[in-house]
Amino acid sequence: MFAQRLALVCLVALLSLWTVSGRVRKINHAKLDRAEETNVIQSSEDDAAPLVNVELYYETLCPYSRAFINQQLYPTWSTASVGAIMNVTMVPYGNAQEAQDGNQWIFTCQHGPKECSANVLTACAVNLDQKNGLLGFIYCFENSDDPSNSTIQQKCANVAGFDWGQLSNCAAGQQGNTFEHLMAVKTDALNPPHKGVPWIVVNGVHNDEIQAEAVSDLIQLVCDTYTGTRPKDCPP
């Protein structure tokens, strides 16, 4: 059935990183700059500087993933002048596994079936996002007592401007199954492969320094990576 893989836990990547997070203030941005050269998207701010691409590979019920969203990603993105230079990509799959069964993909998740359901719901939100409400929606339920509670999810969807009927239909059907499969494909294509979650990629690059600075001081990392005029809300 499921391929036997190295058992990954949702905190593996972090354990070694707390220890180095104190000495990553001087991060080497050469690799990031190289990655940015290929990005020609214009910032909404001013000059032709590309947005800072932040990709998050995670699991909806992993406490460390939730902490990153609630304490780093959402606060940084919702700081208006900094959010404007970010391009955030959410990939809710993490250490899950999948197997094909006819037209369907069967997912197995680290924190059980409830996590799979919340991953699929999030994958639907990523794909159906019409109004830039995605991160507000995700933060709202990830920051709640129980991200798998559908009453809470529905309330959060309404506040963030999603159509709950459309979203929950997606999550219950073939569409959500396909969207979540695409999250699996994206996760499995990571190079280097992820060793835990949250797993953060900035401008196409993942390394220990980027990961450590992202989980401890994302706003600084985003601001220092941006090649355009430094936004006014950036730390010095």
Ligand X SMILES: *[C@@H]1O[C@H](CO)[C@@H](O)[C@H](O)[C@H]1NC(C)=O
In total, the chain counts a number of residues equal to 236
d(CA 225, CA 166): 37
Rounded Cα gap, residues 33 and 104, in angstroms: 41
Within its chain, how far is the Cα of 228 from the centroid? 24
Cβ closer to ligand X: 9 or 152? 152
Residues pairing with 58 in the sheet: 92
* 152 is a contact residue toward ligand X (CB under 6 A): yes
Based on CB atoms, which residue is closest to ligand X, 41 or 159? Answer: 41
Minimum CB distance to ligand X smaller for 148 or for 211: 148
Give the angle subtended at the CA of 6 by the CAs of 210 and 124, to the nearest 5°: 65
Q: CA dist 124 to 13, 165, 171, 232, Å?
A: 27, 12, 6, 34
**Interface region with ligand X, contact rule CB under 6 A, candidates 29-37, 50-58, 122-130, 228-236:** 50-58
Torsion sign over Cα 185, 1, 12, 64: positive
For residue 151, state whether it binds ligand X (rule: CB under 6 A).
Answer: yes
Closest distance to ligand X from the beta carbon of 32 (Å): 14
* Binder among 108, 127, 143, 149 for ligand X (CB under 6 A): 149
Binding residue for ligand X (CB under 6 A) from 25, 28, 41, 169?
41
Q: Does 51 bind ligand X (CB under 6 A)?
A: yes
- Contact segment (CB under 6 A) with ligand X among 64-72, 93-101, 149-157, 190-198 equals 149-157
Q: Is 87 in the site for ligand X (CB under 6 A)?
A: yes
- The correct pick among 13, 36, 53, 118 for binding ligand X (CB under 6 A) is 53
| Binds ligand X (CB under 6 A): choice among 28, 78, 89, 158 | 89
Which one, 39 or 97, has the nearer CB to ligand X?
39
Least Å distance between CB 152 and ligand X? 5
How many residues in the shown chain lie near ligand X by CB under 6 A?
A: 10
Residue ranges binding ligand X (CB under 6 A): 41, 51, 53, 55, 87, 89, 146, 149, 151-152
